[in-house]
Amino acid sequence: MFTGLVEDLATVEAVEEVTAGRRFAIRAAVAASDLTVGDSISINGACQTVVARDGDVFEVIAVPETLRRTNFEALTVGSKVNLERPLRVGDRLGGHWVSGHVDVRGSVDSVPGDGEERAFAISVPSNLAVYIVEKGSISIDGVSLTVGPVEDRSNRCRFLVYIIPETWERTLFGSYRPGDVVNIEVDLLGKYILRSQQLAETKPQNLS
C-alpha cells in the first residue's frame, strides 16, 4: 500500500527482455537506500517486486499484464520514473490509499503554458468516469492528486488536476507533454462503494 507521495525521480539504467516479461534496472538516490529483494516499490504508480539490488540500482521484472496495463512499454534507458516505497504502519498518510494496481492508461491532453496556472488536462476511457469526481482523489503515475473540474464526453472522461511547485519539481509533471501516456489508478474506496451498490441492486429479493 502506498500514499501517492513520490520520494524519488529515478532513472532507468537498463531494459532487458526476459522470459517472464521485461527486466528494468533503475537508479534511485533515495528510494533504493533500504530496499531488499522481495520488497515492493511503486514505479509510476505500479507496484513492483524488487528482484535484485546493487547499491543505488535495483531491478524489477514487469510481467506482460503490467506491460499491457501501464506505460512501462514506453520506458527506455534514460527514462525518468516516479518512485515510492510502501507505507509503514504508523506512518502519516499524507496522500490517499494507493494500491499500486493501475486501472488504465490515461493521456495528457494539455499542459500549462509559461506563466499559466499549473493545470493539466487528463483523459481516460469513459468507463472510469463513475469513479472520477471533482474534489476526489486520483493517482497519476503514482502521484496522489485532487481532481478538479470533470467533463464527460462520448468515449472519454476529461478532468483537470492542479500541480503545486513541489510536485512540479519532484515528479514527472514537470516534463509532461500533450499526448504522453500516464498510469491511472482511481480511488480504491470508490471501487468498493460502487461494487457494493451494484451487488445490492442485483441481489434477488427473498419472497418467503
Q: What are the boundaries of each domain within the chain?
A: 8-84, 104-197
Q: What are φ and ψ of residue 168, in 5° steps?
A: -55, -40
The CATH architecture to which 104-197 belongs is Beta Barrel (2.40)
Check if the beta carbon of residue 10 is closer than 8 Å to that of residue 44.
Answer: no
Q: What is the pLDDT of residues 145-158, one digit of tens each?
A: 999 999 998 889 99
Q: Is it true that 8-84 and 104-197 share their CATH fold?
A: yes
Q: What is the pLDDT of residues 42-89, one digit of tens each?
A: 999 999 999 999 999 999 999 999 999 999 999 999 999 999 999 877
Q: State how far Cα 164 lies from the chain centre.
A: 18
Task: Indicate if the alpha-carbon torsion angle 1, 137, 145, 72 is positive or negative.
Answer: positive
Q: Tell me, what's the pLDDT at 197?
A: 81
In a 3-state reduction of DSSP, which class is residue 24? strand
The CATH architecture to which 8-84 belongs is Beta Barrel (2.40)
pTM of the model: 0.91
Higher-scoring residue by pLDDT: 111, 205: 111
Kindly write down the DSSP assignment for every residue of 89-130, as one continuous string: TT----S--B-S---EEEEEEE---TTS--EEEEEEEGGGGG
Torsion angle of C-alpha atoms 152, 104, 198, 96, degrees rounded to 10: -90
Cα 135 from Cα 179, distance rounded (Å): 24
